[in-house]
Amino acid sequence: MDIIDICNDMNKYVTLIAEARRKLKATAQRVGDAEAEYYKKKGIVNLQLIAGKIIEFEGERVGSLTASDRVAVVKAMCFQQLAEKETAKAKYKALVTYIDALKAELNARQSQFRYLDNS
């Protein structure tokens, strides 16, 4: 690998990092939106349970609940929003890991460049 190839690789990694950072910003927004939707849904379901507007869940009668049981039921009733929130967080973490890997590759190419440049 000569110095021109290394420079081209470095440019490729810089471009990939920039693209990933743009995706990271959008993914962070999706994480925030998913978290907001989850907490909003939990609040609504909790209020509906307290008011007696929800009487069954998944074919089972809810009945009167203690506060701690209500917390568990609310979480169960918001499983879809929780799944979306966790998926968004996982995608965000995966992008951060991908960016770190790209930065490590770029660092390796920079070391190669310095070595060949000083030769």
Domain extents in the chain: 3-113
User: Whose CA is closest to 45, among 62, 33, 23, 59?
Assistant: 62
Contact call for residues 17 and 99 (beta carbons, < 8 A): yes
Three-class SS state of 94: helix
pLDDT in tens, 49-92: 999 898 888 888 888 888 899 999 999 999 999 999 999 999 99
C-beta separation of 21 from 13 below 8 A: no
* Average pLDDT rounded to a whole number, residues 86-105: 97
Overall average pLDDT of the 93-98 stretch: 98
Task: Report how far residue 6's alpha carbon sits from residue 114's, in angstroms, rounded to the nearest whole number.
Answer: 10
Spell out the residues 6+ positions from residue 36 whose beta carbon is closer than 8 angstroms to its own: none
Q: Is it the case that residue 20 has pLDDT exceeding 80?
A: yes
What DSSP string runs through 15-53? HHHHHHHHHHHHHHHHHHHHHHHHHHHHHHHHHHHHHT-
pLDDT at 1 over 80: no
Give me the pLDDT at residue 12, please: 95
Q: How many other CB atoms sit within 10 Å of the CB of residue 25?
A: 9
pLDDT digits (tens, 9 = 90+) for 31-55: 999 999 999 999 999 999 999 898 8
